């Protein structure tokens, strides 16, 4: 089966610009998660979708971040406007349910200059 | 204090050695314990998934969970150069994972 796909793999944008990250989960996985790793820190939770509904967005840093999951399939994470501290690697993961381990994508490395 | 503590390493071992990787945690509500392997510029890959206390073995890998001590371990037997990667522990009460910082492992040929 195809894994979790994320694109772009790498994005370099200027401060103040907008960037949209996309994640295609494994087909049939209702649960989709976004995580982020900033330089030198551990991977941290951003939010959780079940199908198209946000179950928990407690990890979203501020209102410059907006996540959507259209029709319960792919998900996007938009950062607008981007700030320097938003730089890091953004991971998407999916699972069939909460008692299953996640499958992660390869991540999007975001650099804000 | 972090909820999950993990020694960042690096840890260098000769090929064929037994590797022991560990994490400690503070939240007694954690029920699910995972180990992920991450190669450079790749996403984390699930190695072991354990519910509650006990041992789980899969090939050369053994995961141990001691909830009374709030301590988890991953053992790698007959380590290979291809095992060189960063190993991340993660744990959760339900769906939200809390990760350690990862231990960098290098297996020398």
**Is it the case that residue B89 has pLDDT exceeding 70?**
yes
* Range ranked top by mean pLDDT from A37-41, B40-44, B81-85, B90-94: B81-85
Q: Could you tell me if A103 lies within 8 Å of chain B, comparing CB atoms?
A: yes
A42 and B95: CB-CB below 8 Å?
no
Q: Could you tell me if A94 lies within 8 Å of chain B, comparing CB atoms?
A: no
List, for residues B96-108, the tens digit of each pLDDT value: 999 999 999 999 9
**Is it the case that residue A1 has pLDDT exceeding 80?**
no
User: Distance between CA A54 and CA A48 in Å, rounded?
Assistant: 6
Mean pLDDT of A109-113: 98
Residues 6+ apart with CB under 8 A from A21: A6, A7, A8, A11, A76, A77, A78, A79, A90, A92, A108, A110
Which residues on B lie below 8 Å from A102 (Cβ)? Answer: 34, 46, 97
Q: By CB neighbour count within 10 A (0-12 exposed, 13-18 middle, 19+ buried), where does B5 fall?
A: middle
Mean pLDDT of B5-33: 95
Would you state the pLDDT for residue A99?
73
Mean pLDDT of B1-30: 94
List, for residues B21-76, the tens digit of each pLDDT value: 999 999 999 999 999 999 998 999 999 999 888 899 999 999 999 999 999 999 99
- Bigger pLDDT: B78 vs B2: B78
Mean pLDDT of A15-23: 98
User: Distance between CA B19 and CA B15 in Å, rounded?
Assistant: 10
Q: Could you tell me if A17 lies within 8 Å of chain B, comparing CB atoms?
A: no
Would you state the pLDDT for residue B54?
87
């Amino acid at each position: 089966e195809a894994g979790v796909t994320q694109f772009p793999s790498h994005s370099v944008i200027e401060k103040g610009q907008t960037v949209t990250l996309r994640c295609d989960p494994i087909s049939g996985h209702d649960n989709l998660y976004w995580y982020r790793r900033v330089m030198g820190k551990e991977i941290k939770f951003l939010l959780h979708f079940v199908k198209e509904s946000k179950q928990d967005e407690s990890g979203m840093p501020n209102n410059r971040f907006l996540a959507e999951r259209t029709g319960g399939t792919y998900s996007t994470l938009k950062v607008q406007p981007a700030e320097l501290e938003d730089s890091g690697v953004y991971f998407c993961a999916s699972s069939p349910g909460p008692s299953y381990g996640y499958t992660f994508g390869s991540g999007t490395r975001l650099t804000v200059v | 204090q972090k909820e999950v503590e993990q020694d960042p390493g690096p840890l260098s071992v000769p090929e064929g050695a037994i590797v022991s990787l560990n994490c400690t945690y503070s939240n007694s509500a954690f029920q699910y314990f995972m180990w992920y392997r991450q190669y450079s510029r790749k996403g984390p890959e699930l190695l072991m998934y354990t519910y509650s206390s006990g041992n789980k073995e899969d090939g050369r890998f053994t995961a141990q969970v001691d909830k009374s001590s709030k301590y988890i371990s991953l053992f790698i037997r007959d380590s290979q150069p291809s095992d060189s990667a960063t190993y991340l522990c993660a744990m959760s009460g339900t769906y939200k994972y809390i990760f350690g910082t990862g231990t960098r492992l290098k297996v020398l040929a």
